[in-house]
């Protein structure tokens, strides 16, 4: 395969309701969508998960656009590629910028699976034909609002509830949830809102039988996560800390966590995701697929990845209607009884809707 033309689009999509974490609130999702055409005219799609501002990691929509336009696209156009695993070599002289790299790599995996005539899930080595889905619920104005949402999502069949926490919105909130939903599979995500000095406070999490506490401490702090994990029985899951296979080794060897959240963009692509998946499997570390409020293309890639066998915990791969009035793919991603069926047709198994994409496009540029 040989990429002949790449179009970048800056999309802006209004979310059904604002999403709040310990760092702030998102109402309009702005991101880059990438369309890549190969020498046979096949088209592959990639979606950047970088947000408009750098609150989650240092990457943003504009840093991604810059990296894509000035470095990554020039490096990849007209290069002969036998397998998507080669993409990391082509980009080896460009440091980090994982979300930008992953945007192209995702489109290449899509094209590769079309070329082979198999689903993206099969191309990645996926084995499941349906995946379990959980839901992530942002910080709400009142505990009642949160309880009502949980009620709704339990009724819709979601397999686990994840609630965002921060100092002042944590122990009491979880206690209320457990009072009303004693048995619901529940976890909490702190997005790095605590420090090891809060250990006595974090110890209180143990009374709620959470499936895990996600990213309680600073994103670069493997040592303190290890100290915390030794002191609490709730499994620690790392999200923001994990950018690579090496980070994963470090976390496992240091005992910084018992579970890992894999986000394709954060770790630089599907190839690296697969390597991390395999490493975790070898060490009996369960993984699950995180979400970045993706539109349809990102969602389809998450679904394909989650079909790998060590994705044993429900992911944040909710259906399209969780965030969007109208998603950019047909059909939209549907969750039934808490499951999504993994498509078994060549490629991602969903059709990007070019008309809908146009309505959300703020700016576009084609490179050839
Ligand atoms: O920490 O997992 C996170 C959303 C944006 C940025 C970071 C996170 C999240 C979520 C929601 O928790 C995931 C989703 O539903 O897409
Ligand atoms: Mg998280």
Ligand 1 atom nearest to 291, measured from its CA: 16
- Identify the CA nearest to 192 among candidates 160, 164, 162: 164
CA 85 to CA 97: how far, in whole Å? 17
Q: How far is the CA of 338 from the centre of ligand 2 (A)?
A: 20
Hey, what long-range contacts does 61-64 have (CB within 8 A, 24 or more apart)? Answer: 61/10, 61/30, 61/31, 61/32, 63/97, 63/100, 64/32, 64/97, 64/99, 64/100, 64/103
**The whole model's pTM is what?**
0.96
- Same domain as 284, residue 230: yes
Ligand 1 atom nearest to 135, measured from its CA: 15
Tell me how many domains the chain contains: 2
Dihedral of alpha carbons 115, 117, 120, 123, sign: negative
> Tell me, what's the pLDDT at 20?
87
Q: Which ligand sits nearest to residue 162's alpha carbon?
A: 1
- Same domain as 328, residue 206: yes
Packing angle of the helix pair 296-306, 98-116 (nearest 10 deg): 70
CATH number at residue 140: 3.20.20.120
Q: Give the contacts of 172 (CB within 8 A, at least 6 positions apart).
A: 143
- 189 annotated as belonging to a binding site for a ligand: yes
Q: How many Cβ atoms are within 10 Å of 42's Cβ, its own excluded?
A: 16
- Same domain as 146, residue 86: no
Query: What are the residues facing 315 on neighbouring strands?
Result: 133
C-alpha angle 337-342-347 in degrees, rounded to nearest 5: 150
- Read off the tokens for 157: 């069949």
- Same domain as 303, residue 158: yes
Q: Which ligand sits nearest to residue 216's alpha carbon?
A: 2
Q: How far is the CA of 86 from the centre of ligand 2 (A)?
A: 29
Assigned domain for 304 exists: yes
Between the alpha carbon of residue 135 and those of residues 70, 132, 185, 314, the distances in Å are: 37, 10, 11, 9
- Same domain as 151, residue 244: yes
Asked if residue 265 lies in contact with residue 99, where contact means CB atoms within 8 angstroms, the answer is yes
> Tell me, what's the pLDDT at 150?
97
> Tell me, what's the pLDDT at 67?
98
DSSP 60: B
- Same domain as 284, residue 324: yes
Domain that holds residue 33: 3-117+352-367
Question: Could you say which of 37, 164, 166, 274 is catalytic?
Answer: 164
- Is 263 assigned a catalytic role? yes
Half-sphere exposure of 55 toward its Cβ, with a 13 Å CA cutoff? 13
- Same domain as 194, residue 105: no
Beta-strand runs (E) in the chain: 3-21, 24-38, 43-47, 130-132, 135-137, 161-164, 186-189, 213-214, 236-238, 259-262, 287-289, 329-330, 339-341, 351-352, 361-367
- Same domain as 177, residue 54: no
> Tell me, what's the pLDDT at 212?
98
- Is 164 assigned a catalytic role? yes
Q: Nearest 5°: phi and psi at 133? A: -125, 130
> Which residue is closest in CA terms to ligand 1's atom 14?
291
- 272 annotated as belonging to a binding site for a ligand: no
> Which residue is closest in CA terms to ligand 1's atom 4?
292
- 239 annotated as belonging to a binding site for a ligand: yes
Assigned domain for 12 exists: yes
> Which residue is closest in CA terms to ligand 1's atom 5?
292
Question: Could you say which of 29, 122, 166, 263 is catalytic?
Answer: 263
> Which residue is closest in CA terms to ligand 1's atom 13?
291
Q: How far is the CA of 86 from the centre of ligand 1 (A)?
A: 29
> Which residue is closest in CA terms to ligand 1's atom 12?
136
Q: How far is the CA of 258 from the centre of ligand 1 (A)?
A: 19
Assigned domain for 173 exists: yes
- Same domain as 184, residue 79: no
> Tell me, what's the pLDDT at 342?
98
Q: How far is the CA of 25 from the centre of ligand 1 (A)?
A: 11
- Same domain as 79, residue 7: yes
Ligand 1 atom nearest to 261, measured from its CA: 2
Q: Give the contacts of 130 (CB within 8 A, at least 6 positions apart).
A: 339, 340, 341, 342
Residues of the chain with pLDDT under 50: none
- Same domain as 362, residue 284: no
Assigned domain for 347 exists: no
Q: How many Cβ atoms are within 10 Å of 222's Cβ, its own excluded?
A: 20
Ligand 1 atom nearest to 164, measured from its CA: 12
- DSSP codes, 154-194: HHHT-S-EEEE-BTTBSHHHHHHHHHH-TTS-EEEE-TT--
CA 184 to CA 152: how far, in whole Å? 13
- Same domain as 112, residue 182: no
Assigned domain for 346 exists: no
> SS3 for 11?
strand
Out of 57, 138, 291, mutate this one to test ligand 1's pocket (max ligand atoms within 8 Å of CB): namely 291
């Amino acid at each position: 395969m040989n990429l002949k033309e790449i179009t970048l689009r800056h999309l802006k999509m209004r979310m059904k309701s604002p999403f709040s974490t310990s760092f702030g609130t998102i109402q309009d999702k702005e991101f880059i969508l990438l369309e890549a055409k190969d020498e046979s005219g096949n088209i592959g799609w990639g979606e950047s998960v970088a947000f408009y501002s750098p609150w989650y990691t240092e990457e943003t929509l504009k840093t991604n656009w810059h990296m894509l336009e000035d470095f990554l696209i020039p490096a990849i156009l007209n290069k002969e590629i036998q397998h998507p695993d080669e993409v990391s070599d082509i980009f080896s002289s460009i440091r980090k910028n994982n979300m930008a790299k992953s945007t192209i790599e995702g489109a290449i995996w899509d094209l590769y699976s079309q070329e082979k005539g198999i689903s993206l899930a099969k191309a990645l080595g996926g084995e499941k034909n349906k995946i379990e889905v959980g839901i992530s619920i942002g910080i709400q104005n009142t505990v009642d609002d949160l309880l009502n949402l949980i009620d709704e999502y339990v009724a819709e069949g979601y397999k686990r509830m994840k609630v965002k926490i921060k100092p002042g919105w944590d122990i009491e909130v979880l206690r209320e949830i457990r009072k009303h939903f004693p048995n619901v599979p529940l976890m909490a995500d702190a997005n790095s809102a605590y420090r090891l000095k809060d250990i006595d406070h974090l110890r209180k999490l143990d009374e709620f039988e959470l499936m895990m506490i996600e990213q309680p401490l600073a994103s670069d702090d493997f040592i303190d996560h290890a100290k915390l994990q030794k002191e609490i029985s709730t499994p620690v899951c790392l999200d923001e800390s994990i950018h690579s296979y090496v980070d994963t080794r470090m976390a496992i060897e240091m005992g910084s966590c018992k579970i890992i959240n894999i986000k394709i963009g954060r770790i630089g692509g599907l190839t690296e995701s697969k390597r991390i998946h395999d490493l975790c499997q070898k060490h009996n570390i369960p993984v699950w697929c995180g979400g970045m409020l993706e539109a349809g293309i990102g969602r389809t890639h998450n679904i394909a990845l989650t079909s790998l066998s060590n994705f044993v915990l429900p992911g944040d791969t909710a259906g399209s209607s969780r965030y969007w009035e109208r998603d950019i793919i047909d059909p939209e991603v549907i969750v039934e009884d808490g499951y999504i069926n993994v498509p078994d047709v060549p490629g991602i198994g969903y059709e990007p809707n070019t008309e809908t994409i146009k309505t959300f496009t703020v700016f576009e540029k084609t490179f050839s």
